[in-house]
A and B are shown apart, each in its own frame.
Chain A
Amino acid sequence: MRSQGMSQMRIGICVLLLVAGLLTAAGCAALSKKESVPARHPEELGTGWANCLECHEDENSGALKPYGSFVHTSVFLRQHGLYSSRDQNLCASCHRVDFCQTCHAADEELKPGIRQGNRPDLAMPHRGDYLVQHQIDGRVDPGSCVGCHGRRNNDKCAVCH
């Protein structure tokens, strides 16, 4: 059953690749002429919280939003998922994908707060002995956990739950 499912999945993925190729060919012709977000930020950036307005005043042509929307204030960080779910390519211009996967990983063992123990300025979750704190956060607002532990990286939950 499992191998049959796997071959069906492979066929499905091959079909998907074919459709993707055709869509790519057709899509490129219909694409907007606005300049895309560059794959890499052209200037090397510092290590602190990014302030796009230090250099940019205008609107980002790729994201079609003002650069001011992406200044990394604490407000932005709390809402960053609302931006990345539209403009992940803009995030990727400055952040490698493994930066996102520090928290949003399928499989990760080292807590972000421990990995970044030498960067207390970063807003990494789970500082301190979070195993204690999670009892409170989990009771009050379990929905706050699902962004990183809902479907993935949750095998440690089984130890107690």
Chain B
Amino acid sequence: MNSIKRNLRFRLPGSGITVALALILSIQPATAADYEASSTTYLHVFEREQALGDDLQYAPLYEYLSLDLWEVTRPEWSLHLYGWGRVDLGDEIDNGSGGALSSAYANYNHPVGNGQARVGRFFLSEGTATETVDGVFLKGSARAGFGAALFGGSPVENSITADDEGDSVAGGRVSYSLPGVAEVGLSYLTEDGDFSGDDREEMGGDLWFRPGEGLEILGRGLYNVSTSALASYRLTARISAGNSLDLGVGGEGYRYGDLFQSALNSAFGFSTLDPDDEVTTVFADLDWRLSDDSTLQAGIRNVSHEKSDPGDASRAELGLRFLAGGFLDGAGLSAAVQSADLPENEYSQLRCYVMTSLGNWKFTVDALAQSYELPINGEDSAIQVVGSAGRSFGKGLRVSGDIRYTESPNFDEDLAVLLRAEVGL
């Protein structure tokens, strides 16, 4: 596994990422106001028992850095660099250190037509693609309402088996928009690699349709070309009334053998999963703003399996979220119940949180309790309480600490601490 991680972190194939890094290192921002930089340091202290031997005392120290340079040489250009690293101050988690370059890219935003170009390592959400890529991305909308996006490069992945990582990925999306009324898109993605099965090849279709004020129809389908089948779909009708009511009703579904094909989603190739099984979910979610300070949230969903029987289930959730003034910054209370045809899938859940301020100090408490119908590891409930206190020192520095207490089927009693220092420039 370690070799896989090294492969991910240091695979810099003389491509866009090198160009982006060179630009970031060589170009100076025009003025001090043209950059944003931040550092967030986390020290996570926790203990884990071992079946044999002494308990392990972990204390990983994480450093997350971000740098955004705006209006580089021209207003349309910007450079972005994000990454994190870890050193273990206690027992080693993974050879004592770790880290990843999450993004490093140059971005061009054309003033009109949503023209956009990215080169380097970037996160991409376009049509059927949700990827991190070392490469190039281009997008724009033409005058007649047609739009196109194109990307290609080397995929940045971290998969459980080395041969499930691809060597190159390319794809794009074409779309047609009627402003304010509709947008339809067709997308394609192909990824080559030494996969254990077929290569990754998928097509997607998406829809946004607004037949009238207060109603939107959203949809997306993913067709797995390698298995010649519709792998997944989602269709949602979203009904809203001004700024106060938002209701989403819809359904989604997928077939195991097509969605969990090794080249698509390699983590789910369990032998216990029936590839012929199909899952269908219907759902309804409500967000109702009762007043300026309070919102009611409710949701129900039913999940059913076509072929095998790992358990159909229905889940209902109801919550209240407050945004209060004065010393109370916010609060929330929610309850959820899941009923199922198999008792091991039944549980209920309660959660509440409170956020408050006192001068430069902020305090939060978050409590989550779950009760399982069938005991897990001999325990039928779990609880976690997180208390946090933090203080701001001007606009640029904030220090906070969380204490997390857990009782669960995994832990009789577990206490963990997270210290956090956030610096912004």
Which residues of chain A come closer than 8 Å to B256, judged between CB atoms? 142
Task: Looking at the assembled complex, report how far the CB atom of A157 sits from the nearest CB atom of chain B, in whole angstroms.
Answer: 5
Q: Which of B168, B264, B312 has the most CB of A within 10 A?
A: B168
User: Given known contacts A88-B126, A119-B364, A139-B311, is B159 in contact with A152 (CB within 8 Å)?
Assistant: yes
A50 proximal to B (CB < 8 A): no
Residues B268 and A117 in contact, CB atoms below 8 Å apart = no
Scoring B residues 174 to 217 as 1 if CB is less than 8 Å from chain A, else 0, what string do you get? 01010110010100000000000000000000101010000010
With A34-B141, A78-B285, A140-B345 given, is the CB distance from A109 to B132 under 8 Å? no
The residues of B that contact A91 with a CB separation of less than 8 Å are 125
Docked CA distance A90–B401 (Å): 33
Q: Which of A10, A48, A151 contacts B13 (CB 8 A)?
A: A10
Determine if A39 and B78 form an interchain contact, defined as CB atoms under 8 angstroms apart: yes
Q: Which residues of A contact B143 (CB under 8 A)?
A: 30-33
Residues from chain B with a CB closer than 8 A to the CB of A74 are 246, 285, 287, 295, 297, 299
Residue from A5, A34, A75, A79 whose CB has the most chain B CB atoms within 10 Å: A75
Q: Does chain B have a CB within 8 A of A45?
A: no
Does B254 have its Cβ within 8 Å of any Cβ on chain A? yes
CB distance A118 to B132 under 8 Å? Answer: no
Do B153 and A86 have beta carbons less than 8 Å apart?
no
**What residues of chain B lie closer than 8 Å to A89, measured between beta carbons?**
109, 114, 116, 139
- Given A132-B409, A157-B160, residue A143 in contact with residue B287 (CB < 8 A): no
Residue pair A62, B323 in contact (C-beta under 8 Å): no
Residues of B within 8 A of A151 (CB): 157, 159, 164, 264-267
Q: Which of A16, A34, A69, A127 contacts B153 (CB 8 A)?
A: A16
Contact between A129 and B408, CB atoms less than 8 A apart: yes
- How far is B342's CA from A136's CA once the two chains are assembled, in angstroms? 10
Is B225 an interface residue, CB under 8 A from the partner? no
Please give me the residue from chain A that is nearest to B122 by CB atom. Answer: A97
CB pair A105–B160 under 8 Å, yes or no, is no
B240 to chain A, nearest CB (A): 7
Give min CB distance, B279 to chain A, whole Å. 6
| Contact between chains at A6 and B160 (CB < 8 Å) | no
Given contacts A136-B347, A145-B268, A31 and B112 within 8 Å (CB-CB): yes
Residues of A with C-beta under 8 A to B15: 9-10, 13
Point out residues on A near B: beta carbons under 8 Å: 5-6, 9-10, 12-13, 16-17, 20, 23-24, 27-28, 30-40, 48, 51, 53, 59, 62, 64-66, 68-69, 71, 73-76, 78-79, 81-86, 88-89, 91, 96-98, 100-101, 104-110, 114-115, 117-121, 127-129, 131-133, 135-136, 139-143, 145-147, 149-155, 157-158, 161
By Cβ-Cβ distance, the 9 closest A-B pairs, closest first, are: A31-B113, A150-B265, A120-B353, A73-B287, A154-B267, A120-B366, A32-B113, A118-B388, A117-B402
Q: 8 A-B Cβ contacts within 8 A?
A: A17-B16, A36-B115, A78-B299, A97-B80, A117-B402, A120-B366, A128-B408, A146-B267
Q: Given known contacts A114-B402, A120-B355, what 13 new A-B pairs fall within 8 Å (CB)?
A: A35-B112, A39-B107, A64-B177, A75-B286, A76-B287, A97-B122, A106-B156, A132-B408, A141-B279, A142-B256, A142-B268, A154-B160, A161-B270
